[in-house]
Amino acid sequence: MNNKTLRELANKRKIYIGAAVNPKLLETDRQYSGLLEKEFNMITPENAMKFWAVHPSEKKYTFKNADVLVRFTQKNQMQIRGHTLVWHKSIPDWVKTIHDEKKIKNIFEEHIREVAGHFKEKLYCWDVVNEAFADNGKLDKNSFWLNKLGPKHIELAFRIAHEVDQNSKLFYNEWGIEVINQKSNAVYEMVRDFTNQGVPIHGIGFQMHVGLGKNQMAEDVPEPGKLAINLKRFSDLGLEVHITEMDVQIQGLLGTQEERLCAQARVYRKILETCLHIPNFRALIQWGVTDKFSWIPSLAGKPDAPLIFDENYSPKPAYYALIEALA
């Protein structure tokens, strides 16, 4: 009978099992913080390090909430993934009202310096740039940063982050690149060029927002063989591989809730088992702590249960599936 926690099993394997965390809940909900301490050895801020959260106006930086997370991990011997320095979907309005491109460039550079500087020595890694590509493999034309600063802003962000913080591993993070497709090919070419040209990059984050059945708000669950081939080519570049934002939607599946939860458990298990065979795989993070606070219901507009702990913080079949994959 195995009654080790997820955290203990992950430690033994020298990998990280993590969850996206809300610092307000961490401070007010003992069950939430207790579950985190017990079951996880890594956390990431769901929102607390995003541009709008730490840099609400031009001259003002607010790190109070994100620092709650840092203290929590120091107290509990956990690691943090920093998320995220550059993401066009987390830019506050005050930035978007500026038109002078030189000024925008200064803000961009200063933001990275300040934020990476503040958390220097405290983070395991940074998602330096998040979601810069579109499905067709081109840079996302909706990106404010692309439109104002051009494609070179990605490389620039990595260079500045590394200049300020030489210890954190620097990641490119993206959704919908779990298998080989136009987008993952484009990301692959970019990060391969970065490694060839000495642009400081150390890892690649695969978000893994997936769903079973009929889902409009998620990627299909990747087939293990196809996932393995794709992850391996990134690992072969010498990059660390993280699953950074996993959730598995099930509201589109037919059958009973019990059947849905078992199908979901099989997905968690297969994904982790596949990853464990990838040489540079180091971390699997779920996007939330329990189903009670998952972002999926508000995104999809209907209830769901995409994580490994339920609304009452109890372990689901998916939790036991991860335990079995690690045991």
Q: How far is the CB of 191 from ligand XIL (least distance, A)?
A: 17
**Pick 9 or 300: Cβ nearer ligand XIL:** 300
Could you give the C-alpha distances from 158 to 54, 85, 226, 267, 291, in angstroms and in order? 19, 10, 29, 33, 34
**Pick 94 or 293: Cβ nearer ligand XIL:** 293
Binding characters for ligand XIL, 46-85, by CB under 6 A (x = yes) = xx--------------------------------------
**DSSP secondary structure code for residue 123 in this structure:** -
d(CA 134, CA 121): 33
Q: Which of residues 191-230 bind ligand XIL (CB under 6 A)?
A: 207
Which one of residues 52, 63, 188, 295 is an interface residue with ligand XIL (CB under 6 A)? 295
Which one of residues 130, 143, 168, 235 is an interface residue with ligand XIL (CB under 6 A)? 130
Nearest to 158 by CA among 128, 190, 183: 128
Whether the CB-CB separation of 320 and 266 falls below 8 Å is answered with: no
Q: How far is the CB of 294 from ligand XIL (least distance, A)?
A: 8
Binding flag, residue 291, ligand XIL (CB under 6 A):
no
Is residue 211 exposed (0-12), middle (13-18) or buried (19+ Cβ within 10 Å)?
buried
**Pick 56 or 238: Cβ nearer ligand XIL:** 56
Binding characters for ligand XIL, 174-193, by CB under 6 A (x = yes) = -x------------------
Annotated catalytic residue 245: yes
Could you give the C-alpha distances from 208 to 62, 197, 249, in angstroms and in order? 30, 28, 11
Q: How far is the CB of 20 from ligand XIL (least distance, A)?
A: 7
d(CA 137, CA 119): 32
Catalytic hit among 46, 174, 240, 245 = 245
d(CA 272, CA 264): 13
DSSP reduced 3-state for 137: coil
Q: How far is the CB of 175 from ligand XIL (least distance, A)?
A: 6
Nearest to 62 by CA among 80, 45, 42: 45
**Pick 186 or 326: Cβ nearer ligand XIL:** 186
Annotated catalytic residue 121: no
**Pick 130 or 274: Cβ nearer ligand XIL:** 130
Whether the CB-CB separation of 211 and 217 falls below 8 Å is answered with: yes
Q: How far is the CB of 165 from ligand XIL (least distance, A)?
A: 20
Whether the CB-CB separation of 193 and 201 falls below 8 Å is answered with: no
Which one of residues 165, 178, 240, 245 is an interface residue with ligand XIL (CB under 6 A)? 245
Nearest to 261 by CA among 312, 303, 319: 319
**Pick 174 or 240: Cβ nearer ligand XIL:** 174
DSSP bridge partners of 76: none
Q: How far is the CB of 68 from ligand XIL (least distance, A)?
A: 17
Interaction site with ligand XIL (CB under 6 A): 46-47, 130, 175, 207, 245, 295
Point out the residues that are catalytic. Answer: 131, 245
